[in-house]
């Protein structure tokens, strides 16, 4: 029996159990199948996507986040509202992308050989982020959309904490921190101090507080009001990982957004 006849017999008799040799023959003789086409999701129009983010950025700087509306964003970007909603369910989610992709400084995991300087450089990024326009928008997002804040947490806060955790775990291995050091609480301190300063006073008191904060964690040194001791300089030296960063010019002094119902797509 030829290879073709053998294959035809297998197809014509479903109840027949083909031997491994028979299946090998059928497989070897069969023509190659066409590669399956990749599943196509929502292909973003790159130009429209860029225009929407540009419009969002401009409007936030001009009027503040609480005054931001999808209608104005769409009009400024030259697209329809449906185009905006196709990619972002609300203005809050659009703001998250603006913060994560354009404004937040990510920093690095420094390894200078000096734990104190490594922690100062890491913590200085937290201070600079909070001192920038990004810090104010982040505070307003928290009151506007828990869902968007959850997304921001996953896309930015979690990776940043992983970076800080790597520094602290290395400090433990070096003996600069005790083995039972509560690294999660230390990370809360480094993030919480600048966030609280912004929340309570609307500004970062002094970027040089980074050094005293690190000394408090590493050495138990009580922070003082004396400013004469040497500084690491980490707080005042930006270390951006992208060409862009949060604008430093002041934003409109707008109040936090009211608890409004979420925006609905048209």
Count of other CB atoms within 10 angstroms of residue 159: 11
pLDDT at position 191 over 50 = yes
Closest CA to 136 of 177, 185, 94, 103: 103
pLDDT for the residue 202? 84
Supply φ then ψ for residue 168, to 5 degrees.
-70, -40
**pLDDT, position 246:** 57
**Which residue intervals of 88-229 are DSSP H helices?**
91-98, 115-131, 133-144, 146-152, 158-174, 183-201, 209-219
Identify the pLDDT of residue 35. Answer: 39
Q: What is the pTM of this model?
A: 0.69
| 128 and 195 Cβ atoms separated by less than 8 Å | no
Mean pLDDT score of the chain, rounded to an integer?
A: 78
Listed by start position, the domains of the chain span: 46-87, 102-219
CA atoms in the 13 A half-sphere facing the CB of 247? 14
117-126, 184-193, 222-231: which range is least confident on average? 222-231
Choices 1.10.260.40, 1.50.10.20, 1.10.357.10, 3.40.50.261: CATH for 102-219 = 1.10.357.10
- pLDDT tens digits for 97-129? 999 999 999 998 999 999 999 999 999 999 999
Q: Which residues of 206-228 are buried (b: 16+ CB within 10 A; e: fewer)?
A: ebbbbbbbbbebbeeeeeeeeee
pLDDT band at 228 (very low <50, low <70, confident <90, very high): low
Q: pLDDT digit string (tens) for 145-160?
A: 999 999 999 999 999 9
Judge whether 194 and 127 are in contact, CB under 8 Å.
yes
Q: Are 205 and 130 in contact (CB under 8 A)?
A: no
Tell me which of 10 and 207 has the higher pLDDT: 207
| Answer CATH for 46-87 from 1.20.1070.10, 3.50.50.60, 1.10.10.60, 3.10.20.90 | 1.10.10.60
C-alpha 134: how far from chain center: 12
Predicted pLDDT at 227: 54
pLDDT at 8: 43
Q: What is the pLDDT of residue 44?
A: 56
């Amino acid at each position: 029996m030829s290879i073709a006849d053998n294959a035809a017999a297998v197809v014509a008799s479903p109840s027949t159990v083909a031997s491994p040799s028979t299946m090998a023959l059928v497989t070897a003789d069969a023509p190659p199948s066409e590669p399956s086409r990749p599943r196509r999701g929502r292909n973003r129009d790159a130009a429209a996507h860029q225009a929407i983010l540009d419009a969002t950025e401009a409007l936030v700087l001009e009027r503040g986040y609480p005054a931001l509306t999808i209608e104005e964003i769409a009009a400024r970007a030259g697209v329809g509202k449906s185009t905006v909603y196709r990619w972002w369910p609300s203005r809050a989610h659009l703001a998250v992308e603006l913060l994560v992709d354009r404004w937040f400084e990510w920093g690095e995991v420094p390894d200078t050989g000096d734990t104190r300087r490594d922690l100062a450089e890491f913590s200085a990024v937290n201070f600079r982020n909070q001192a920038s326009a990004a810090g104010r928008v982040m505070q307003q997002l928290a009151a506007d959309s828990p869902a968007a804040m959850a997304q921001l947490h996953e896309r930015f806060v979690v990776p940043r904490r992983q970076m800080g955790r790597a520094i602290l775990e290395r400090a433990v291995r070096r003996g600069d921190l005790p083995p039972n050091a509560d690294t999660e609480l230390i990370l809360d301190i480094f993030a919480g101090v600048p966030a609280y300063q912004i929340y309570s006073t609307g500004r970062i008191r002094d970027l040089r507080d980074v050094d005293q904060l690190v000394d408090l964690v590493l050495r138990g040194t009580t922070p003082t009001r004396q400013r004469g001791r040497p500084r690491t300089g980490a707080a005042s030296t930006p270390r951006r990982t992208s060409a862009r960063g949060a604008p430093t010019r002041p934003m409109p002094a707008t109040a936090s957004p009211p608890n409004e119902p979420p925006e609905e797509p048209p």
